[in-house]
Amino acid sequence: MGAARILIRTQQFSLTLLLLLSSLFACAETRLAPQHEIIAEGETQLSAYFSIELSGNGWLSPRVLKVYHHDKPAKTLLGVARFSEHASRQNGYAISNDGKTILYFHQKLPDTDGLDKPGGLYEFTHGGDDKHLHRFINNTQYLPIQLPTHILVFNKLKKRTDSFRMDSDVFLRDTNGNEKRWQPPAQ
C-alpha cells in the first residue's frame, strides 16, 4: 500500500510541476533538444551564432563549459564556468528558439583565456549587447524535469544576516527575459 501511495504522489508532483512550468513560460513554440540535455565533450554548434565547448575530465582538470559567439569570421569567448559531470543542459545555458539569444554562466577561474569580467549570469543577443543579469548566483541547482532549451535554472545566493552562511532561492529564466522563483509544489 505504501509503494502505491508513493507512486501516486510522484505522479501528482510531476503533473503539478509540468502545469506550473507551462503556465510560467507559455510560448508559441517550445523546442526540446534532447541531444543537448547531456552535453557531450568537445565543441557543439548550437546555432549559426553560438557554440559551447565542454572540456576537462573532472578528476585532474575541472570540467569547464565555454560559451562562444560566432560573428563571421570571428569567434569570441563569452563565458567560462565549471560544469559538473552530473549536470544537464539547463545548468549550463539556454538558447532562444531563433538561436540569436543565449543565457550563460561565467565564473572567474584561473584559466579563462584572458576573459576579464565579473562572474554571474549573462544574456547575449547577436547584434546586441552582453548583459550582466545577476552577480551572486550558481549553476548547481538540479531539477527532476527537463526544461525547454530556452529556459535555464540557477540559484540566487543571499547572505544570512545572522551568520556567515549563505542561503539561496531557485529561479528559472527564459531567453525572453521572464524570470520566476521556483518552488516545488506542496505535497
Q: 32-41, 99-108, 154-163: lowest mean pLDDT where?
A: 32-41
Write the pLDDT tens digit of every residue in 19-75: 344 444 443 333 333 434 677 788 999 999 999 998 887 677 788 899 999 998 899
Q: 6-10, 103-107, 152-156: lowest mean pLDDT where?
A: 6-10
Burial (CB count <10 Å: 0-12, 13-18, 19+), residue 53: middle
Q: What is the pLDDT of residue 173?
A: 92
Using the predicted structure, report yes or no on whether residue 105 has a pLDDT greater than 50: yes
Q: HSE, CB side, 13 Å, CA atoms: give it for residue 46.
A: 34
Q: What is the pLDDT of residue 169?
A: 82
CA angle (43 as vertex; 121, 41 as ends), nearest 5 = 95
CA angle (133 as vertex; 130, 138 as ends), nearest 5 = 115
Asked whether 6 and 14 are in contact (CB, 8 A), the reply is no
Domain ranges of the chain: 2-181
Per-residue confidence band for 95, with pLDDT thresholds at 50, 70 and 90: very high
Q: What percent of the chain has pLDDT over 90?
A: 30
In sequence order, the β-bridge partners of residue 82 are 64
Using the predicted structure, report yes or no on whether residue 135 has a pLDDT greater than 50: yes
Q: What is the pLDDT of residue 59?
A: 72
Q: Is the pTM of this model over 0.85?
A: no
